Every structure is written in C-alpha cells, then in structure tokens.
Structure 1
Amino acid sequence: MKIYEFQGFPNPARIRIALAEKGLTDQVEFVSVNVPEGEHQSEAFRAKNPSAAVPVLELEDGSCISECTAITEYLDHLDGSPSLTGETAKDRAVIHMMQRRAESGLLDAVATYFHHATPGLGKEIEGYQCAEWGEHQKQTALEGMRYLDGVLAENPYLAGDDFSVADITAFAGLAFAGFANIDVPEDCANLQAWHARVAARPSIAA
C-alpha cells in the first residue's frame, strides 16, 4: 500500500496515527506530495484524487481511496484489534457521529479560518479567500472545543470508554488550532486533560 501525503499536515497526521494504532505503519510506503509547491494540483495526482487533497491510499491493485474516514475504515478492516471505528452497530454509529462532530465543529472550522483569515498557504495556492467567513469559523471552532469539553466531562474518550477515530480527528483539530494560534479556552479543563492523555499515546508521542 502507498499513502500519498505531505507530512505535518493535519489530515495525513490522522492516517499516520491510525496506522500506528493498528500496527500497520511498516506495511505502507509513504509518498510525499509537495502541497505548498502545488504538486497536488498536477494531472497525475488528480487522477488519483480529483479533489486534489492529501492523504490518498493507493492499494496494490492500483485503486485509490481518499478521505480520512474512508481510509481509516479500510485500515480498520485489515485487522480487527484495536478497533478505531467500532465493533457493534451502536458503537459504530456513535463513533461515526462523534467523528463527524469533531471534524465539522473543530478540524474543518480551524482549516477554514487558516485558509481564509490568515495568509494560509499563500495566494497562489489559496485562490479565493473571505476573511469574514474565516473569522466566523474561528468562533465555530471555539464553540466546538467547548462542546467536546462537555462530552469529555462524562466520558474518558469522545465516543465512550475507548479511543477511536473520533479522538484522532479531534486531536488533529487541536494540533491545527495551535498552529493557527487558536487557543483552547481556559475553561475547557476536560478537553485539556484529554489532550494530555492522548498526546502520551505511543501512536502520537512517537
């Protein structure tokens, strides 16, 4: 298998964490796509992912899978333990729900702020920018942090008792927020404690 990525970006980081959690890192060849230089816009890469985004998983038969949730779902079915996407119908549904809330309410909101309200990756890469929309999404991210803090007041992890893809997404969202200079609100003690625990996991600490 190959993973096309740009190391250090939040979405490729999500897949690297999932691979490490599953013990599959040594089964993957990482191929760097220089996004800041526009390599992701090339015809060759768009043939693998028309949306021109990393990461992309390329299988041995040449087929390609994009979108972090889809890639993680595939990896989770290669080996059942530990499960990142849930084993029972209820677990899978709750994890999917919380993953999407962490994605839309935090990670995607931070990304929108970064790409619209800051210089982002530069004018040649960014194209259209709307600072007002970016600032609005910054507030969405802060509200998302407070929501997740409330969830973590009742559970050790975002989808219950076990670490899951929802936690990976939220961790990547907080990492991106730190890069974009969006601070976690001081009253989010549960979220901050969770972040410290997750950061110490071998899949992330390494």
Structure 2
Amino acid sequence: MKIYEFKGFPNPSRVRIALAEKGLIDQVSFISVNVPEGEHREPTFLAKNPWGTVPVLELDDGMVISECTAITEYIDHLDGQPSLTGRTARARAIIHMMQRRAESGLLDAATDYFHHATPGLGPKLELNPNKAWGEARGERVGWTLRQFDAVLAQTPYLAGDVFSVADITAFVGLGFAEFAKIAIPEGLTHIDAWRRRIAERPSVSAA
C-alpha cells in the first residue's frame, strides 16, 4: 500500500494514528505531496485524486481511495484487532455519529477558520477567502468542544468505553484548532483529561 500525504497535516495524521493502532504503519509506503507548494493541484496528483486532497491510499492493484474516513474504514477492516469503527450495529452507529460530529464541528470547522479567517497557506493557494464565514466556523469549534466535554463527563471516550476513530478525529482537530489560534473555551476539564490520555497512546507518538 502507498499513502500520498503531507506529514503533520491533520488528515494524514488521522490515518497514521489509525495505522499505528492497527499495527500496520510499517506495511505502508508514504509518499510526500508538498501541499504548501501546491503539488496537490498539479496534473500528476489530480490524476489520482481530482479533488486535490491528501491523504490518498493506493492499493497494490492500483485502486485509489481518498477521503480520510474511507481510508480509515479500509484500514480498520484489514485486521480485526483493535476495532476502531465498531463491531456491532449499535457501536458502529454511535462511532459514526461522533466521528461525523468531530469532523464537521471541530476539524473541518478549524480548517475553514484557518483557510478563511487567517492567511492560511498564502495568497497563491487561498483563492476565495471569506473572513466572516471563517470566524463563524471558529466559533463552532468552541461550541463543539463544550458539547464533547459534556459527553466525556459520562464516558471515557467520545463513543463510549472504547477508543475509536471519533477520538482520533477529535484529538487531531483540537490540535489543529490550537495551531490555527482559535480560542479554546476554558474549564473543559473532561476534554483536558481525555486529551492527556489520548496523547499517551503509543500510536500518537508513532504517528
């Protein structure tokens, strides 16, 4: 397998953590795509993923899979242990729900803030910034984190008792929100404790 990525960016980090959790990180060749220099918009890369986003997974038979959630779903089903996307219908539904909330309300919102309310990747790549939209999305980050803090007051992880892809997405999203200098609400004691526990997982340091 090959993964086209820019190491350190949020979505590639999500995939690396998932691979490390599954013990598969050594079975993947990582190919760097220089996003800050616009390499993701060049014809060679767009032939693999016309959407121009990283990461992209290329299988040994040439099949290409993009979109981070699709890649992590594929990774999770290569091997049974541990399950990151749930084993039962109930577990899968709850994980998917919380994963989507973490993606839309935290990681994607922080990304929108970065691209629209800050200089982002610079004028050559940020072609249609909308500052008001970006600032509104930054506010959504704080709202989402307050909701997650309430969830984590009841359960150790976002989707219940077991670490899942929802935790990976939220952990990476929170880190990116701080990188983008979004104001994080104070007093989120359950988020803080959860974050410390996630940071101690070997998969995070391996990624």
1:178 Cα shift?
Answer: 1.3
Q: CA deviation at 1:183?
A: 3.8
Instruction: Using the TM superposition, give the Cα deviation of residue 94 of structure 1 relative to its aligned residue in structure 2, in angstroms.
Output: 0.5
Q: Secondary structure at the match of 2:47?
A: helix
Instruction: Give TM-score, length-normalised by structure 2.
Output: 0.98
Residues 129-170 of structure 1: CA distance to partner in whole angstroms, max 9, x if unpaired?
011110010100100110111110111000000000000000
Deviation at 1:7, TM superposition (A): 0.5
Q: Which residue of structure 2 aligns with residue 157 of structure 1? A: 157
Q: 5 Å matches for 1:27-66?
A: 27-66=27-66
Tell me what 1:135 maps to.
135
The within-5 A match list for 1:43-122 is 43-122=43-122
| Matched residue, 2:126 | 126
Match of 1:170 in 2: 170
Give the equivalent residue in structure 2 for 1:191. Answer: 191
1:66-108 CA-to-partner distances (Å, cap 9, x unmatched) read 1111001101110010000000011011000000000001000
Structure 1 residue identity aligned to 2:31: V
Deviation of 1:172 after TM superposition, in Å, equals 0.7
Q: Unaligned regions of 5+ residues in structure 1, if any?
A: none
Q: Aligned partners of 2:195, 2:155: CA distance in 1, in Å?
A: 13
Identity of aligned residues (%): 67
Structure 2: distance between partners of 1:189 and 1:182? 18
Q: Deviations over 1:29-65 (max 9, x none)?
A: 0000000110000111111111100000000011100
Gaps of 5+ in 2: none
Runs (4+) of structure 1 moved beyond 6 Å?
A: none
Q: For residues 104 and 140 of structure 2, what CA distance do their matches in structure 1 show?
A: 9
Q: How far has the Cα of 1:182 moved from its partner?
A: 1.9
Q: What is the DSSP-based 3-state SS (H/G/I as helix, E as strand, rest coil) of the residue aligned with 1:65?
A: strand
The alignment covers a number of residue pairs equal to 206
- TM-score (ref. length: structure 1): 0.98
